[in-house]
Amino acid sequence: MQNPGEVPGGDAQLVVPQAIGEPGKRRFRIVAVINGLTWILWMEKQQVQALGLAMEQILEYIPSHNDLPDWALPTPEIDEHTDLQFRVGRIEMGFDAGDRQVVIAAHDIQDEDMHSAPDVRFRFPLQMARAFAEAASELMNKGRPLCPMCGMPKDEEHVCPEQNGHLPYDLDDPFVDLT
């Protein structure tokens, strides 16, 4: 039990990025099981991607990260109906060199005070960070293919602004006035 005024959190038994839905209509989140409690942190795709890349960067600068044994993700019970969920507005990540743990602090987007304490803070070992980074990268690669010209996601409605002369009209349509 947390003391009043203390930030909830602790050691995470599981931290995984997830995408819900079909590519193009997905919602992204991090599921963290911390001291047996499930936290669901809803995020933008770019936030999940940036967090995964930041974890990769931390791992690059740790001399012995390649010597870490492979991480078998634990399978604690995930409570999909937890009340401990919010949309992340700001997220902070650090590395505790003494314990060799990644530390995450997440702030609810509805917090008006940018200097307030985080809504949850947790830490986890480097092996879990490596698994998170790999899973985040895999999630990003499972999205819609990107247009090679403009870099935007391609779908049936994509109109590439970089393609000179491309019109979103059927030129054989007699009702299209091209003058």
pLDDT in tens, 21-59: 987 788 999 999 999 999 999 999 999 999 999 999 998
Q: Where are the domains of the chain?
A: 9-141, 146-179
The pLDDT of residue 99 is above 80: yes
* pTM: predicted TM-score of the whole model, two decimal places: 0.75
CATH tag, 9-141: 3.30.2450
Instruction: State the CB neighbour count (10 A cutoff) for residue 52.
Output: 21
Computed from CA positions of residues 148, 149, 152, 156, in that sequence, does the dihedral angle turn out positive or negative? negative
Is 46 within 8 Å of 153 (Cβ atoms)? no
User: In this predicted structure, what is the pLDDT of residue 127?
Assistant: 87
